[in-house]
Structures are given as C-alpha cells and as structure tokens.
C-alpha cells in the first residue's frame, strides 16, 4: 500500500505561509478598489449595449464593417456602446459608436501580449482583473450583441447565458450576429445539450439570431417597450444581483 503523505511544514515554512496568506488577504482591497473606481467612472453611461467580437478582424472584413454599422445605429438611437476597447471588432464598435452622438466606451484589460486600446473611446477604463471587467460589462449593459469571435467572445456569451439562466440577472436581449457563423453552435445546443437533457428546452430561447443591423436595434427596443431600461421594483424585489 502506498504511504504517501503531504509533508508537514517546518516552522520557517509556516511563517512564510502565514505571510503569504496575509498578502493574499490584503489583495482583497485591490479587488474592491477596482470595482469602486470602475463603478464611479462608468455610472453615467446608461443605457448601454455591449458588443463583443474578435480582436483579429481588420477592415475591410465584412464583420468589421457590420460591427461599425451596428454600433453607429445604437449610438444614434441613444445607447452608449461598450466594447472591450481593443483592436479588431472592438475597434469597429468604438469607431461606429464615436461617429454617433452617444458615448463610445471601452473596458480595457491589461494583458502581457495584447495591443493597447483603440483610438475611438470617449470613455475608457482599464482593468487589471478579468473577473472585475466581466462584472462591469454585465452591470452596465441592458443588452448584449455577439459578433463572430473566439474564446473570449464565447466566454462572455456563456457567462451572460448562465447568469440569465440561473436568475442572477434579469432576462436581457442576447443577440447573435451572423447566422452562418453561429449556426453550428446552435445546432449543437439543440441536438446535444437539449436532446441529452443538459439544459431545458426553453433555454434555447434565451438566444436570438439577428443579421440585419436595424433589426438588432429594433429587437432591443421591442424587449424594453413595456418595461423600461432600469430594473422594475418587482425585479429588484426578486433579488436580481445586477
């Protein structure tokens, strides 16, 4: 029989572990400070729509042009428009929003190997931690538009889906753009997740595919036509976290 055991730390090791734990505890204040500064900086941008998509797309790619068009229409309609602040589709989003009358917002992230923020941001806030940035995306947005993208876009998509599905946030418009791009994922959701009982059949309805830029704007207004952009008293009483 194997007798492997975790070795007990020596007294010097215990001291080092205690010091490390104390440093980790103090890091909590860094996280709190990041939420406080972001909340103060972004409190005036409501109502806002977040648009996600690949950092690898450049003009004249049709995805870039479409993202710019959607953002401009949303800005003209009175929405602040939020992107991740980087290159690619994020740049197109901020460029389109800045051409309109409403704020173009970039929620940037410090990364070791990524390019800096794009030049089309009226309001720019830079985060150190991904989780704080993701919370602020959700907290500040009344709708989400998903352009084609990679792991980061998928991460945001399923983050928002999970929060809506579990009732942590109220139902919000969650729109996928480019049906040909998202078709395989939607088929897998229907043919595997729903079929094998991993999600309820109604969960598929949380996603809507819209390819026409003006119809995206119309879909957001249709969703809020009778409820307003701020959470209702009933929604607040229901305990939605954001």
Cβ neighbour number for residue 227 with a 10 Å cutoff: 13
pLDDT tens for the chain, 242 residues long, are: 555 666 665 666 665 566 566 677 788 888 899 999 999 999 999 999 999 999 999 999 999 999 999 999 999 999 999 999 999 999 999 999 999 999 999 999 987 765 678 999 999 999 998 999 999 999 999 999 999 999 999 999 999 999 999 999 999 999 999 999 999 999 999 999 999 999 999 898 999 999 999 999 999 999 998 787 877 777 776 666 55
Q: Whole-structure pTM over 0.85, yes or no?
A: yes
Q: Give the whole-angstrom CA distance, residue 218 versus residue 225.
A: 10
H or E stretch covering 49: strand 48-52
- Residue extents of the structural domains in the chain: 49-237
The encoded tokens of residue 83 equal 């992107």
Per-residue burial over 131-158, b = 16 or more CB atoms within 10 Å of its CB, e = otherwise = ebbbbbbbebbbbbbbbbbeebbeebbe
Distance CA 147, CA 135 (A): 20
CATH for 49-237 (3.40.50.150, 3.40.50.450, 3.40.50.2300, 3.30.470.20):
3.40.50.450
């Amino acid at each position: 029989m194997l007798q492997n055991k975790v070795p007990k730390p020596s007294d010097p090791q215990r001291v080092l572990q205690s010091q490390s734990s104390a440093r980790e505890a103090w890091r909590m204040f860094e996280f709190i400070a990041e939420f406080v500064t972001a909340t103060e900086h972004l409190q005036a941008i409501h109502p806002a729509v977040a648009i996600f998509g690949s950092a690898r797309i450049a003009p004249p790619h049709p995805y870039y042009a479409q993202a710019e068009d959607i953002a401009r229409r949303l800005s003209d309609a009175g929405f602040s428009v939020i992107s991740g602040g980087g290159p690619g589709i994020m740049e197109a989003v901020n460029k389109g929003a800045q051409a309109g009358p409403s704020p173009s917002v970039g929620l940037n992230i410090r990364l070791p190997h990524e390019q800096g923020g794009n030049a089309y941001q009226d309001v720019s806030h830079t985060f150190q931690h991904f989780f704080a940035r993701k919370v602020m995306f959700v907290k500040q947005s009344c709708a989400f538009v998903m352009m084609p993208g990679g792991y980061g876009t998928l991460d945001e998509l399923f983050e928002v889906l999970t929060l809506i599905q579990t009732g942590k946030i109220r139902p919000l418009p969650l729109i996928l753009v480019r049906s040909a791009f998202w078709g395989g994922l939607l088929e897998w959701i229907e043919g595997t997740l729903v079929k094998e009982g991993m999600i309820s059949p109604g969960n598929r309805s949380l996603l809507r595919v819209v390819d026409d830029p003006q119809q995206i704007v119309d879909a957001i207004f249709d969703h809020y036509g009778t409820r307003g952009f701020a959470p209702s008293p009933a929604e607040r009483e229901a305990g939605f976290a954001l």
